[in-house]
């Protein structure tokens, strides 16, 4: 393979070069390295023996990270470099939607695609049930929903408090916690004469999954953590308020209230999630994203309790 000097500096793989032979002046060439960095090197011309090095004269060999070497031959202008063997072209790195904004944006993108069109404009999933606007909620179903959500939030808060993995400690006292708010709501509902049901399989099985993932698979757990808290602060809050209007005469429960600016709380947690994900490999990030559908499956079961 033959390269002119101009072509050489455009290669994305670094080449070990030695024994440039021409005379008359010293030139500086910009060599693009395999990692994307750039090095200036001098072509020093001293009589019949010249070298490629960082300063001064003398023959030298600059080795490449991939072990590919080259040799220079001078047969007049233009200078030609012959590669000892061709470099393997580097495959363009795959881009992921939202990647430039941080990993939370990647999670959001995947989550939005799993919505239906009536839930979100980015939604791609076909609906297998009536839209929320056509639901006929019952107080008994809503009580089941609240009780089983408390099981989930109790579990989440216990996990980050114990922090089997140090990264979980970032998510203590975020202001998004819902367990205490749900406890107040259930106490109030009981005081109104409603019988509080026991937790059902929809809540206990999901809590057990979360506990296991938190101990064995942190990226998977983080996916569920993100979807549980962020979904509740968006669509979950909207649905809850509509249900409250229907079965509680508009009484707004503590479950749907946050102390302080909710958007500021969410932004702070987003930063922490992005920080944690910075240490992950691309494979770990993809594994996390793959958990989104399972998270939606469990949250869907919980939501449907409202109309049970």
Looking at residue 145, its pLDDT comes to 99
Using the predicted structure, report yes or no on whether residue 182 has a pLDDT greater than 70: yes
Looking at residue 121, its pLDDT comes to 62
Q: What is the pLDDT of residues 262-275, one digit of tens each?
A: 999 999 999 999 99
The crossing angle, in degrees rounded to 10, of helices 218-231 and 139-162 is 140
Share the mean pLDDT of the chain. 79
Is residue 48 classed exposed, middle or buried when 0-12, 13-18 and 19+ CB atoms within 10 A define those classes? exposed
Using the predicted structure, report yes or no on whether residue 178 has a pLDDT greater than 80: yes
Using the predicted structure, report yes or no on whether residue 81 has a pLDDT greater than 60: no
Three-point CA angle 152, 111, 298, nearest 5°: 30
Looking at residue 29, its pLDDT comes to 39
Question: What is the side-by-side strand order in the sheet with 51-53?
Answer: 27-32, 38-44, 51-53
Instruction: Give the separation between CA 290 and CA 296, rounded to whole angstroms.
Output: 11
Residue 199: closest CA among 133, 150, 258, 268:
150
Query: DSSP state, 141?
Result: H
pLDDT-derived band at 234, boundaries 50, 70, 90: very high
Using the predicted structure, report yes or no on whether residue 186 has a pLDDT greater than 50: yes
Instruction: Give the separation between CA 207 and CA 202, rounded to whole angstroms.
Output: 9
- In contact, 280 and 273? CB cutoff 8 Å: no
CA distances from 210 to 13, 86, 119, 236, 285 (A): 45, 50, 26, 20, 18
The CB density around residue 91, as the number of other CB atoms within 10 Å, is: 6
First vs last Cα of the chain: how many Å apart? Answer: 72
Using the predicted structure, report yes or no on whether residue 279 has a pLDDT greater than 70: yes
Using the predicted structure, report yes or no on whether residue 204 has a pLDDT greater than 50: yes
Pick the CATH number of 99-307 from 1.20.910.10, 3.40.50.11540, 3.40.50.300, 3.30.1180.20: 1.20.910.10
Q: How many CA atoms lie within 13 A of 169 on its CB side?
A: 5
Query: DSSP state, 172?
Result: S
- Backbone dihedral angles phi then psi of residue 111, each to the nearest 5 degrees: -65, -40
Q: What is the pLDDT of residues 283-308, one digit of tens each?
A: 999 999 999 999 999 999 999 999 98
Using the predicted structure, report yes or no on whether residue 42 has a pLDDT greater than 60: no
Q: How many CA atoms lie within 13 A of 191 on its CB side?
A: 6
Instruction: Give the separation between CA 228 and CA 207, rounded to whole angstroms.
Output: 12
Instruction: Give the separation between CA 285 and CA 118, rounded to whole angstroms.
Output: 28
Helix or strand or coil: residue 33? Answer: coil
The domain limits of the chain are: 2-83, 99-307
Q: What is the pLDDT of residues 137-168, one digit of tens each?
A: 999 999 999 999 999 999 999 999 999 999 99
- In contact, 144 and 196? CB cutoff 8 Å: no
Q: How many CA atoms lie within 13 A of 295 on its CB side?
A: 29
- In contact, 189 and 295? CB cutoff 8 Å: no
Phi-psi region of 258 (alpha: psi -120 to 50; beta: other; left: phi over 0): beta
Instruction: Give the separation between CA 295 and CA 2, rounded to whole angstroms.
Output: 55
Using the predicted structure, report yes or no on whether residue 260 has a pLDDT greater than 60: yes
Using the predicted structure, report yes or no on whether residue 184 has a pLDDT greater than 70: yes
Using the predicted structure, report yes or no on whether residue 50 has a pLDDT greater than 60: no
Instruction: Give the separation between CA 221 and CA 217, rounded to whole angstroms.
Output: 6
Q: What is the mean pLDDT of residues 75-100?
A: 60
- In contact, 19 and 50? CB cutoff 8 Å: yes
Instruction: Give the separation between CA 212 and CA 207, rounded to whole angstroms.
Output: 9
């Amino acid at each position: 393979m033959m390269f002119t000097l101009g072509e050489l500096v455009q290669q994305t793989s670094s080449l070990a070069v030695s024994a440039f032979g021409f005379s008359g002046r010293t030139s500086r060439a910009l060599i693009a390295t395999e990692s994307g960095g750039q090095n200036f090197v001098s072509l020093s011309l001293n009589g019949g023996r010249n070298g490629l090095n960082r300063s001064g004269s003398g023959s030298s060999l600059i080795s490449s990270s991939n072990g590919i070497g080259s040799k220079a031959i001078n047969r007049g202008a233009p200078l030609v470099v012959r590669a000892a063997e061709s470099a393997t072209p580097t495959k363009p790195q795959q881009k992921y939607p939202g990647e430039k904004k941080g990993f939370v944006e990647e999670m959001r993108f995947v989550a939005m695609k799993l919505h239906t069109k009536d839930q979100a404009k980015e939604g791609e999933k076909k609906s297998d049930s009536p839209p929320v606007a056509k639901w006929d909620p019952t107080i008994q179903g809503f009580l089941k929903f609240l009780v089983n959500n408390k099981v989930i939030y109790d579990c989440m808060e216990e996990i980050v408090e114990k922090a089997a993995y140090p990264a979980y400690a970032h998510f203590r006292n975020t202001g998004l916690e819902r367990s205490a708010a749900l406890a107040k709501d259930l106490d109030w509902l009981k005081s109104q004469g409603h019988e509080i049901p026991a937790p059902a399989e929809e809540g206990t099985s999901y809590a057990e999954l979360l506990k296991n993932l938190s101990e064995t698979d942190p990226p998977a757990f983080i996916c569920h953590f993100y979807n549980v808290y962020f979904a509740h602060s968006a669509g979950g809050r909207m649905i809850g308020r509509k249900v409250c209007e229907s079965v509680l005469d508009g009484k707004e429960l503590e479950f749907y209230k946050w102390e302080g600016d909710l958007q500021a709380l969410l932004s702070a947690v987003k930063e922490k999630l992005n920080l944690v994900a910075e240490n992950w490999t691309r494979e770990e990030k993809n594994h996390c994203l793959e958990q989104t559908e399972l998270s939606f499956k469990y949250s869907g079961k919980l939501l449907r309790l409202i109309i049970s």
